Amino acid sequence: MKKQLEHEFVSNLEKHQNIVHKICRMYTNDKDSHNDLFQEITIQLWNAYPKFRGDSKFSTWMYRVALNTAITLYRKSKKELHTQNYDEISFKIKAEAYNDEVEKQLQLMYKAVKELNDIDKALVFLYLEDQSYREISEMLGISEVNARVKMNRIKKTLRNILNP
């Protein structure tokens, strides 16, 4: 029974691991910290998995546990707080599909998002992942109206970062 649960969980996570990697990339600044956070999220997901009843999608459930781990449970290392390796935090897309100008703009935008605080980053991340305002508000524990208001403010903040 336990073996089956392990297999089911690992297969699900393997399939949806991109979500966790994107969160790790959003909240950490170097490869070691990325791996540390990925591991902590995996442990928390596994600990919570027996309570996952399948009434929501595995991916939706993952967003909640993974973001909670990144925002609340994970303790950033001292080293990471002082590291800003631009290459590791940059937004990487398939190079041949885009011209330099577009890619440069995307990277600047991604860098601006990474300068936001933890909560704003979570809002932006869920928005980029195409989650509805209702889902965003439920995951963060705020009202839907406030999620919308906050998102409008974040857009203004980002505009200011990009056009000082």
Partner 1 sequence: MDELEFLKQNWKKQEENLPRLSYDDIYSMIWKKSSSIVKWIFVISIVELLISTLFTIFMADANYWDQLEQLHLKKVTIFVYVISYLITFYFIYCFYRNYKRISTTDDAATLMHNILRTRKTVRTYIAYVLISTGIYYLVIGYLTVQNHQLIQNIEDTSKYTFDAMDWVKFTVVFGIILAVFLLALWLFYRLIYGILLRRLKKNYRELKRLEI
- Residues 27, 28, 29, 67: which binds partner 1 (CB under 8 A)? 67
Q: Does 8 bind partner 1 (CB under 8 A)?
A: no
Dihedral of CA 79/85/89/94: which sign?
A: negative
Cα 78 to Cα 73, 90, 122, 151, distances in angstroms = 16, 21, 22, 30
Interatomic CA distance for residues 161 and 164, integer angstroms:
6
Cα 71 to Cα 8, 28, 34, 150, distances in angstroms = 26, 11, 14, 17
Task: Compute how many residues bind partner 1; rule: CB under 8 A.
Answer: 69
Q: Does 142 bind partner 1 (CB under 8 A)?
A: yes
Question: Are 69 and 40 a contacting pair, CB within 8 Å?
Answer: yes
Nearest to 54 by CA among 23, 12, 2: 12
Contact pattern for partner 1 over residues 17 through 36, marking x by CB under 8 A? xx--xx--x--------x--
- Residues 33, 89, 124, 133: which binds partner 1 (CB under 8 A)? 124
- Residues 30, 71, 131, 144: which binds partner 1 (CB under 8 A)? 71
Q: Does 57 bind partner 1 (CB under 8 A)?
A: no
- Residues 42, 58, 83, 88: which binds partner 1 (CB under 8 A)? 42
Helix (H) and strand (E) counts for the chain?
10, 0
Contact residues toward partner 1 (CB under 8 A) are 6, 9-11, 13-14, 17-18, 21-22, 25, 34, 38-40, 42-44, 46-48, 51-52, 61, 64-65, 67-69, 71-76, 91-94, 97, 105-106, 109-110, 112-113, 117-119, 122, 124, 127-130, 138-143, 146, 149-150, 154-155, 158-159, 162
